Chains A and B, each alone.
Chain A
Amino acid sequence: SAVISQKPSRDICQRGTSLTIQCQVDSQVTMMFWYRQQPGQSLTLIATANQGSEATYESGFVIDKFPISRPNLTFSTLTVSNMSPEDSSIYLCSVAISEVYGYTFGSGTRLTVV
């Protein structure tokens, strides 16, 4: 399975600022996914990042708030823009080799907005 390096592992940010989270995979993958895990809750898919095309956002998430880059098959970034305390969550990058094999997750970025 793929190995994912995600950074930063945690950050404390001021409201109104932006944070970019990086996700590096040790092999080429077609699809990368970004999830949010709010305190005490399950995972919610933010968007799917495909190389060479615009990211596909889930209902309730917009590109202006969560811009995503996917410059190649091993790397992606998620930016959380104009942050508010409600954005305090764990953000997780993941990849899937195929539907059958399930996801591999990064270790997550724990974001606190003050």
Chain B
Amino acid sequence: AQSVTQLGSHVSVSEGALVLLRCNYSSSVPPYLFWYVQYPNQGLQLLLKYTSAATLVKGINGFEAEFKKSETSFHLTKPSAHMSDAAEYFCAVSAPPSTSGTYKYIFGTGTRLKVLA
């Protein structure tokens, strides 16, 4: 069965510092992996996705993530944090279609990023 583990429910970084949000997955099949961001009082926005092409994936707002099969990881990074990056970040893995034929996603528990001035 598919699962996602996000290490660290809260992460604080200084403005301008490296952002590293960790995500490890478990999947019985080659996974599709996603990172979403949720700003306060808003829905989720897709940051980036891995779909079996390049292992280093670049997303919006300067974020990127690297798929490492040997480590079953898909960590999210950004070289320099900005105050506007403060939000909740969710890692997700796609699950094989159910018997009804619909696919669905398994979300991690989220990491709240705080950026300190």
Residues of A within 8 A of B (CB): 1, 4, 6, 31, 33, 41-43, 45, 48, 50, 56, 92, 94, 96, 99-108, 110
Contacts and interface: CB of A to CB of B under 8 A. Distances in A.
A103 B102 contact: no
A45 B42 contact: no
24 contacts: A1-B46, A6-B43, A41-B109, A41-B110, A42-B108, A42-B110, A43-B90, A45-B104, A45-B105, A48-B100, A48-B102, A48-B104, A92-B43, A94-B44, A99-B94, A102-B92, A103-B44, A104-B46, A105-B43, A105-B45, A106-B43, A107-B41, A108-B42, A108-B43
Interface residues of B, number: 24
Interface of B: 32, 34, 36, 41-46, 49, 51, 90, 92, 94, 98, 100, 102-105, 107-110
Which of B42, B43, B51, B108 counts the most A-chain CB atoms under 10 A from its CB?
A: B43
Contact of B107 (A43, A56, A99, A100): A43
B43 A102 contact: no
Q: What secondary structure prevails in chain A residues at the interface with B? A: strand
A42 B90 contact: yes
Contacts of B34: 102-103
B50 to A, nearest CB: 10
Contacts of B103: 96, 99
B44 A56 contact: no
Given A99-B94, A102-B49, A103-B105, A110 B100 contact: no
Nearest to B105: A103
B20 to A, nearest CB: 20
